[in-house]
């Protein structure tokens, strides 16, 4: 029997023994499918977190007040009052700072806000016009805080879509309406477009007012909560971080960088932390995938071994009729390979479909990597082939009569 004929014979055997073939393929499908689906989900959610962080603004540095290490007191970042508006203005004019595109000083506080009879507790940001640029804020209606609003300390507010739902029950356009923040009346001049608020902070639940207004009417202090600095490009992030850091140290007359009364975070730091978190998540899913690979593998192994009784008699008969050992082993190898290829293809389609549906349901990106496909097919296929081939090899070594009598 040549190979071509053995392939035909194998297909015949496989189609004739439908239940046996079906079970073996099912084992392979589950083994491969679950691994592909689980790894795809893990990578999809990792991707999602990265995308979200990136959408907060690229090339972003955040300067926050706070003593990093000062004697016995260790100030929490963001908790101090050491950053002023002048610091921020100096950063945008300092000639030693060459790699910074935009500087945005920010103050923020939580305030009780009312509009008519509605009442909500919202995050209120005092901002410069540059804020919109740096944080990639777009407006769905109206306009953002302008330089003249700032100069005139106008009581105007730009509100997020979540604030609109909180304060204005009807779907009337809130632009031009009045809201009250800390007892004072503000005119709504714009509504921001939704950013899909599931990040660290809900970007849709913020009220923006001019920084000067916020300092005068809300915080009553000249200190600011943070300065967002946009670097010219991704490549100069570290240079920008250094330049901003040294400029501020000089202004604050601090010689030792370890005594700095502010801290600088980059988007990269946050990304790294988040990546390590989702990386753990992916390892967890990989662990689950490894277990399903094992379970699938045992399933494949079982069905292959269970069929041995019947197959051993068949092998005995084939030997009695003149089949050589190698011919028999080759036939079983071909059968196992056909099973594995069939199961592998169905399993891949199955795993991809499951992860596609789940990624839609969980609204995470749909990703399938070559490595997960290769891993699952390698392991399941390997198990299928080994446990198809090995018992056949053992049976082919028996005397034909021993094999025929096998119980």
Partner 1 sequence: MPKNQKNQTVISVENISKVYQVGEVETVALDTVSFTIAKGEFVAIMGPSGSGKSTLMHILGALDTPTSGTYTLDGELVSSLSDDELADIRNRKIGFIFQAFNLLPRTTALHNVMLPMAYAGIPVAEREERAADALTKVGLANRIHHYSNQLSGGQQQRVAIARGIVMDPAILLADEPTGNIASNQADEVMEIFHTIHRQGHTIVMITHEPDIAAHAERILHIKDGKLVNDERNTQKTQRVRKPEDRKTG
Q: Which stretch binds partner 1 (CB under 8 A): 64-72, 191-199, 215-223, 309-317?
A: 309-317
Which one, 295 or 404, has the nearer CB to partner 1? 404
**Tokens, residue 390:** 């090995």
Which one, 11 or 281, has the nearer CB to partner 1? 11
Q: Which stretch binds partner 1 (CB under 8 A): 47-55, 73-81, 217-225, 392-400?
A: 392-400
State how far the Cα of 201 lies from the Cα of 270, in Å rounded to an integer. 13
Which residue of 153, 242, 327, 365 would you call a contact of partner 1, by CB under 8 A?
327
State how far the Cα of 407 lies from the Cα of 405, in Å rounded to an integer. 6
State how far the Cα of 303 lies from the Cα of 312, in Å rounded to an integer. 14
Q: What is the 3-state secondary structure (H, E, C) of 102-116?
A: EEEEEEEEEEEEEEC
Q: Is 404 in the site for partner 1 (CB under 8 A)?
A: yes
Q: How far is the CB of 276 from partner 1 (least distance, A)?
A: 57
Which residue of 181, 314, 355, 372 would you call a contact of partner 1, by CB under 8 A?
314
Site for partner 1 in 80-139 (CB under 8 A): none
State how far the Cα of 67 lies from the Cα of 394, in Å rounded to an integer. 74
How many other CB atoms are there within 10 angstroms of residue 51's CB atom? 11
Which one, 122 or 314, has the nearer CB to partner 1? 314
Q: How far is the CB of 26 from partner 1 (least distance, A)?
A: 20
State how far the Cα of 301 lies from the Cα of 311, in Å rounded to an integer. 15
Which residue of 72, 73, 253, 321 would you call a contact of partner 1, by CB under 8 A?
321
**Tokens, residue 190:** 């714009």
Q: How far is the CB of 322 from partner 1 (least distance, A)?
A: 2
Which residue of 74, 310, 353, 357 would you call a contact of partner 1, by CB under 8 A?
310
Q: How far is the CB of 7 from partner 1 (least distance, A)?
A: 13
Q: Which stretch binds partner 1 (CB under 8 A): 36-44, 199-207, 221-229, 394-402?
A: 394-402
Q: Is 400 in the site for partner 1 (CB under 8 A)?
A: yes
State how far the Cα of 92 lies from the Cα of 223, in Å rounded to an integer. 17
Start-end of H helices in 363-406: 370-396, 400-405
Q: Which stretch binds partner 1 (CB under 8 A): 192-200, 263-271, 355-363, 395-403?
A: 395-403
Q: Is 399 in the site for partner 1 (CB under 8 A)?
A: yes
Q: Is 317 in the site for partner 1 (CB under 8 A)?
A: yes
Please say whether the beta carbons of 375 and 35 come within 8 A: yes
Strands (E), 83-170: 100-115, 118-127, 139-142, 156-159
Q: Is 325 in the site for partner 1 (CB under 8 A)?
A: yes
Q: How far is the CB of 375 from partner 1 (least distance, A)?
A: 36
**Tokens, residue 67:** 């003593």
Can you say whether the dihedral through the CA atoms of 5, 7, 13, 15 is positive or negative?
Answer: negative
Q: How far is the CB of 301 from partner 1 (least distance, A)?
A: 24
Which residue of 320, 357, 362, 374 would you call a contact of partner 1, by CB under 8 A?
320
Site for partner 1 in 11-30 (CB under 8 A): 12, 16-17
How many other CB atoms are there within 10 angstroms of residue 54's CB atom? 13
Q: Is 324 in the site for partner 1 (CB under 8 A)?
A: yes
Q: How far is the CB of 400 from partner 1 (least distance, A)?
A: 4
State how far the Cα of 267 lies from the Cα of 55, in Å rounded to an integer. 10
The site for partner 1, by CB under 8 A, has a size of: 27
Would you give the end-to-end CA distance of the chain in angstroms? 28
∠ Cα 159 163 169 (to 5°): 120
- The single residue listed with the structure tokens 């809201």 is 179
State how far the Cα of 281 lies from the Cα of 346, in Å rounded to an integer. 27
Q: Which stretch binds partner 1 (CB under 8 A): 1-9, 134-142, 344-352, 380-388?
A: 1-9
The residues binding partner 1 (CB under 8 A) are: 1, 5, 9, 12, 16-17, 310, 313-314, 316-327, 397, 399-402, 404
């Amino acid at each position: 029997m040549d190979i071509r004929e053995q392939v035909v014979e194998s297909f015949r055997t496989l189609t004739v023994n439908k239940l046996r073939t079906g079970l073996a393929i099912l084992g392979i499908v589950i083994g491969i499918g679950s691994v592909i689906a689980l790894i795809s989900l893990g990578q999809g959610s990792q991707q999602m977190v990265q995308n979200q962080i990136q959408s907060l603004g690229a090339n972003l540095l955040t300067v926050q007040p706070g003593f990093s290490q000062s004697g016995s007191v260790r100030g929490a970042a963001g908790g101090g009052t050491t950053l002023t508006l002048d610091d921020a203005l100096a950063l945008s004019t300092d000639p030693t700072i060459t790699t910074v595109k935009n500087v945005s000083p920010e103050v923020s506080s939580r305030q009780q806000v009312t509009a008519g009879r509605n009442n909500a507790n919202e995050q209120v940001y005092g901002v410069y016009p540059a804020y919109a640029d740096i944080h990639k804020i777009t407006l769905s209606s109206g306009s953002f805080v302008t330089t003249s609003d700032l100069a005139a300390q106008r009581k105007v507010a730009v509100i997020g879509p979540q604030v609109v739902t909180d304060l204005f029950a009807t779907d009337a356009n809130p632009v031009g309406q009045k809201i009250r923040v800390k007892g004072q009346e503000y005119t709504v001049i714009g509504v921001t477009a939704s950013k899909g608020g599931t990040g660290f902070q809900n970007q849709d639940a913020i009220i923006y007012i001019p920084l000067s207004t916020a300092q005068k009417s809300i915080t009553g202090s000249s200190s600011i909560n943070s300065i967002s600095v946009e670097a010219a490009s991704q490549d100069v992030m570290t240079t920008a971080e250094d330049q901003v850091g040294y400029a501020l140290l000089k202004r604050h007359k601090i010689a030792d960088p370890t005594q700095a009364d502010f801290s600088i975070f980059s988007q990269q730091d946050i990304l790294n932390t988040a990546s390590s978190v989702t990386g753990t998540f992916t390892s967890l899913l990989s662990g689950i995938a490894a277990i399903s690979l094992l379970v699938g593998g045992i399933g494949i192994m079982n069905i292959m071994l269970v069929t041995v009784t019947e197959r051993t008699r068949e092998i005995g008969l084939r030997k009695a009729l003149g089949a050589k050992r190698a011919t028999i082993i080759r036939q079983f190898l071909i059968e196992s390979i056909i099973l594995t290829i069939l199961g592998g293809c169905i399993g891949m389609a199955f795993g991809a479909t499951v992860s596609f549906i789940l990624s839609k349901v969980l609204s995470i990106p749909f990703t399938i990597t070559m490595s997960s496909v290769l891993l699952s097919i390698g392991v399941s296929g390997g198990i299928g082939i080994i446990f198809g081939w090995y018992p056949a090899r053992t049976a082919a070594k028996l005397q034909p009569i021993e094999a025929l009598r096998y119980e």
